[in-house]
């Protein structure tokens, strides 16, 4: 998911991006030795005797650092710090909170390259995409800083001079649980609306990508946030369970898979805690024969190969109207084969490494299964070994386009979460709408057509929360993002998200005497 490229370029000075000659880090050279947990204003080592877990550099396959999972004692301390900070932060005016958030955004901008490089080292995506992710996080914080001072209730005049009013109040300590595909961006997207509303947060990154969320915690602290306002605890399922069950946690926001989202919803329900769930997808992309073919090809590439295909909203079921399928497939294959794979810190690289060895093997197994079920590999779908000897152990594969796909195939029904595009043919609008909606998920969808009436009719019929007309995977922070059906509950970004991080209190004021029945 990206901001519009034009927005990012307009915001930055007109200079060339930092290249290898001035780069702060290089692959196989970074060793993270500082603690990755953060609460009460500084980095912390775990106080419990937990086994450390290896964290890998996807581009090389080497161990980057060791993760200390947080147990009950650590989680209690982090939540306690957040609860203490909430008492002060929630009493500040919106303008006061906004000033600190804006300062945090300024620090992010000044450290853009450093954060992006660490995102590449820990996640494997290209430096070009990592910069845009950092920009998206910064813009989100700026956006909600602007909304912080606008939070207001409603005045309702009642008979006899009496009246009622509503107050929008913060929830308390919120928990954010992030995914490994957009580590810094997700931490920003969850924390920004929470803090703007007056909440504090304990954030748990994915144990696969633990590094950059702690950088965000340090940035908030440097910007002047109270100690404990934004805390980071590392760990896997056990740590997440401790957070969801904690009695002092008021809300849980999770980004990740559908099965894990169900478990989090169940755990939160024990305390009747509200949840925001941004889960998986198997999104359709509809290409009609009257489309601008060049834009449709570009859109399909953006819908499938950003972040090595590891994007929840990806439009991996590409339905192409029968008359233009041969031409479309030919162009898609040509462009896909031209994608530069390799060192993600190089400016020319457009596809880096997948996030882990097990995930790479899982994605490749989907390609093998597709072939067994009758799909035809038009290009890619194989393990890739870069020529650079440092990258021999990295988790690379060639982006894959599958032809001759049918709706019953595993590659069409299940979320692969890798660089695998499935091409399907259709003839009529009615037919493709029925097939597009034939899924338990509904995160996103897209349509390419020159017919504006058709475009709006199609997105009206599509059962998905985030729809695109003649574009794909554009996520400006000003508009809500989220899904229908099993793709989630609630929204991230946009004004509406304020409602998911606050609660409404109604106050009745009697200006006369009590009219009692007793």
> Cα 235 to the chain's mean position, in Å?
19
CA-based angle 491:496:499, to the nearest 5? 90
Provide Rg for the chain, Cα atoms: 24
DSSP 170-226: E-SEEEEE--SSSHHHHHHHHHHHHHHTT-EEEEE--TTS-HHHHHHHHHHHHTTPP
| β-bridge mates for residue 467, sequence order | 445
Rounded Cα distance, 379 and 150, in Å:
52
C-alpha dihedral sign at 370, 376, 379, 383: positive
Q: Which phi and psi angles does 188 have, rounded to 5°? A: -75, -45
Tokens representing 331 are 């162009």
b/e sequence 481-507, b meaning 16+ C-beta within 10 Å? bbbbbbbbbbbbbbeebbebbbeeeee
Tokens 């909440």 map to which residue? 199
Q: Whole-angstrom Cα distance, residue 308 to residue 154?
A: 46
**Cα 343 from Cα 324, distance rounded (Å):** 35
- Residue pair 466/313 in contact (Cβ under 8 Å)? The answer is yes
**Phi, psi values for residue 319, rounded to 5°:** -90, 120
Minimal CA–CA distance to 217: which of 44, 68, 38, 386?
38
User: Are the C-beta atoms of 181 and 352 separated by less than 8 Å?
Assistant: no
- Measured from the Cβ of residue 470, the count of other Cβ atoms closer than 10 Å reads 16
Cα pseudo-dihedral 444, 448, 454, 460, rounded to 10? 10
Order of strands, sheet of 155-157, starting from the edge strand that comes earlier in the sequence: 155-157, 163-170, 502-509
Backbone dihedral region of 124: left (phi > 0), alpha (psi from -120 to 50 degrees) or beta? left
- Euclidean distance between CA atoms 131 and 493, whole angstroms: 19
Strands 173-177 and 275-278: unpaired
How many Å apart are CA 207 and CA 218, to the nearest integer? 19
Give me the catalytic one of 57, 278, 331, 492: 278
How far is it, in rounded angstroms, from Cα 476 to Cα 227? 30
Q: Active site includes 382? A: no
Listed in order, strand segments (DSSP E) in 376-432 are: 376-379, 400-403, 420-426
Catalytic positions = 278
């Amino acid at each position: 998911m990206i901001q519009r490229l034009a927005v990012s370029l307009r915001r930055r000075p007109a200079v060339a991006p930092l290249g290898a000659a001035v780069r702060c880090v290089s692959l196989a050279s970074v060793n993270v030795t500082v603690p990755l947990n953060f609460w009460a204003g500084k980095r912390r080592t775990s106080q419990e005797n937990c086994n450390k877990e290896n964290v890998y550099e996807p581009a090389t396959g080497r161990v980057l650092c060791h993760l200390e999972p947080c147990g009950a004692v650590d989680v209690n301390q982090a939540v306690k710090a957040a609860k203490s900070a909430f008492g002060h932060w929630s009493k500040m005016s919106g303008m006061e909170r906004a000033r600190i958030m804006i300062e945090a955004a300024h620090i992010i901008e000044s450290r853009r390259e450093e954060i992006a490089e660490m995102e590449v080292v820990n996640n494997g995506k290209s430096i070009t995409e990592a910069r845009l992710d950092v920009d998206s996080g910064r813009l989100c914080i700026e956006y909600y800083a602007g909304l912080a001072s606008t939070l207001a209730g409603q005045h309702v005049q009642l008979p006899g001079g009496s009246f009622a009013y509503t107050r929008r109040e913060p929830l308390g300590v919120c928990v954010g649980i992030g995914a490994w595909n957009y580590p810094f961006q997700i931490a920003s997207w969850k924390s920004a609306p929470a803090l703007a509303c007056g909440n504090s947060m304990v954030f748990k990154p994915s144990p696969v990508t633990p590094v950059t969320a702690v950088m965000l915690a340090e940035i908030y602290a440097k910007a002047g946030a109270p100690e404990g306002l934004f805390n980071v605890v590392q760990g896997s399922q056990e740590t997440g369970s401790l957070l969801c069950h904690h009695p002092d946690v008021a809300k849980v926001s999770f980004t990740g898979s559908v099965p894990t989202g169900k478990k989090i919803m169940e755990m939160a329900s024990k305390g009747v805690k509200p949840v925001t769930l941004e889960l998986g997808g198997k999104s359709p992309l509809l290409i009609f024969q009257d489309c601008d073919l060049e834009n449709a090809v570009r859109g399909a590439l953006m819908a499938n190969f950003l972040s090595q295909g590891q994007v929840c909203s990806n439009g991996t079921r590409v339905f192409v109207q029968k008359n233009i399928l041969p031409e479309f497939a030919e162009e898609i294959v040509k462009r896909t084969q031209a994608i530069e794979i390799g060192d993600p810190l190089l400016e020319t690289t457009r596809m880096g490494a997948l996030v882990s060895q097990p995930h790479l093997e899982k994605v490749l197994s989907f390609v093998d299964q597709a072939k067994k079920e009758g799909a035809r590999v038009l290009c890619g779908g194989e393990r890739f070994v870069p020529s650079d000897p440092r990258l021999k152990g990295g988790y690379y594969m060639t982006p894959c386009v599958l032809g001759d796909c049918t709706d019953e195939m595993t590659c069409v029904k299940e979320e692969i979460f890798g660089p695998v595009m499935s091409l399907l043919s259709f003839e009529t609008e009615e037919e493709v709408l029925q097939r597009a909606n034939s899924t338990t998920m509904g995160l996103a969808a897209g349509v390419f057509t020159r017919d504006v009436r058709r475009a709006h009719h199609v997105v009206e019929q599509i059962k998905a929360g985030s729809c695109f007309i003649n574009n794909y995977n554009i996520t400006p922070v000003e508009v809500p993002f989220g899904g229908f059906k099993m793709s989630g509950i609630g929204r991230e970004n946009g004004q509406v998200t304020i409602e998911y991080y606050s609660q409404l209190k109604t106050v009745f004021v009697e200006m006369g005497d009590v009219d009692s029945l007793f």
